[in-house]
Amino acid sequence: MMRLTIIGGGPGGYTAAFAAAQAGMEVTLVEAARLGGTCLNAGCIPTKTLRASADALETARRLAEFGISCEGTPKVDPAAVLARKERVRGILEEGLAKACARNKVRVLRGRGRLLDARRVEVSLDEGGVEVVENDALILAAGSRVLELPGMPFDHERIISSDDALNLDRLPERLIIVGGGVIGCEMAFIYRAFGVQTTVVEGQGRLLPMPSVDADVSSLLLREMKKRRIACELGSTLRDVRVEDGVVRGVLAASPFVSGGTPRKEVPVEADMLLVTVGRAPATEGLGLKEAGVAVDERGWIKVDDMLRTSLPQVFAVGDVLGPQRVMLAHVAAAEALCVVDTLCGKPRAMRYDAVPSGVFTSPEVGCVGLSEQQAREQGIDVRCAVFQMRELGKAQAMGELPGFFKLVVATDGGRVLGAHIVGAHASDLVAEAALAVTAGMTADQVAATIHAHPTLAEGMYEAALLARKA
């Protein structure tokens, strides 16, 4: 029986553990903190739980639009929101623990360190040290928040995204440094809670990732402005300091944007500063260098197409691979299944060209495949079709009008290369688009698929019709 050791109990780690155990392997899962990793404890699930509270509050404020009368003004109770978030997290963590027991996965609570490719030393939380011998090893240690030199976290006034998910009080004024996924999600959440919010982004647009279409960024900026979320694009914050319980700094032009109109430096202040500028590998103490596991200049683990590290029978999945791959929970899980298949004698490489992503702003964003700019930069002749969310009967009935469906289609053959959806439930709607990209479907084939009416999914059908005619 093959002995598999996994370091890290996040989506990559527990997915590998369950699949390997079901394939007949003897599995040991080493976790230094809580099962579920960043996703369950300080990322996906807590953020979406707060988002649900924000959505409920915004709906309550709009009840009159739906013919519902309600006395009093709805307001947020931060402590109750936090308690609900912890209940949800706890339920899911307990579910993972039960799944480990059900699949006979041995869980060691403690910090793992590689001695070599065949041995892991675990410093147990309960005291003592255990050396676990294995035939194969998967590194799934994840990532941690990145701290900027000029904005060190004090966890009270200058906070990380981890801190922002555990606030039992709300600041009156909040500055968010970083207009990426986390920064944008937090901006909409805390603005819905009544916080005066400003987003400072060094690039010239929100969500400045190549995989996110520029049209998505433009719509999201408009929606932020509607909610009076201030957006300072092409800007940076410097000279940050905390004085008399207030965060002060200077808003200046960003070095990442050239050719724009020089901006005047402006002093700014807030009650809290939330820094959301990226992640760093959570590999401290793993003994990678001593064991001979190759990493890049930033500490991310290097792997080949089969997710093998520089050591034989040692693999790595998830966030420890860094931004050169795709740092998403479901990608870590998919990578884990590729590794388990390889260990079972059915090797397959991870496919990254059809990974769907969701951004839980208001409205939501769902993307998969190539953006229009990516396609053109690759020299692919494409046509794009855009269908507005407000043209759908279901969107009108729901009162959810902002958004669109954008398809990027190859001119030659009509294959769907990418889809970018903004609007209500976009993170759910993108699943159909992901299937189309994965299967190599054409716009004709999507348009030939009957979509139920009235649904938001009809937007994919309508966009496909437009792409076929373009």
E strands, 167-286, where?
A: 173-177, 196-201, 230-233, 235-243, 246-253, 266-270, 272-275, 279-281
Q: How far apart are CA 222 and CA 200, in angstroms?
A: 15
Question: What's the start-to-end Cα distance of the chain, in Å?
Answer: 57
Q: How far apart are CA 258 and CA 253, in angstroms?
A: 9
Query: Which of 438, 443, 421 lies closest to 430, judged by CA?
Result: 421
Planar angle of CA 230, 231, 235, nearest 5 degrees: 130
Q: How far apart are CA 84 and CA 78, in angstroms?
A: 10
Dihedral angle sign, alpha carbons of residues 423, 427, 428, 431? positive
Residue from 330, 420, 425, 453 carrying the catalytic annotation: 453
Contact yes or no for 264/312 (Cβ under 8 A):
no
Can 420 be counted among the known catalytic residues? no
Query: Which of 194, 224, 195, 170 lies closest to 75, judged by CA?
Result: 194
H or E stretch including 366?
A: strand 364-369
Q: How far apart are CA 468 and CA 133, in angstroms?
A: 57
Provide the token pair at 171.
């600041």
Sheet with 235-243, edge to edge strand ranges: 235-243, 246-253, 266-270
Which residue do the tokens 């520089």 mark?
Answer: 310
DSSP state of 193: T
DSSP state of 262: P
Which residue do the tokens 């200049």 mark?
Answer: 297
Active site residues: 453
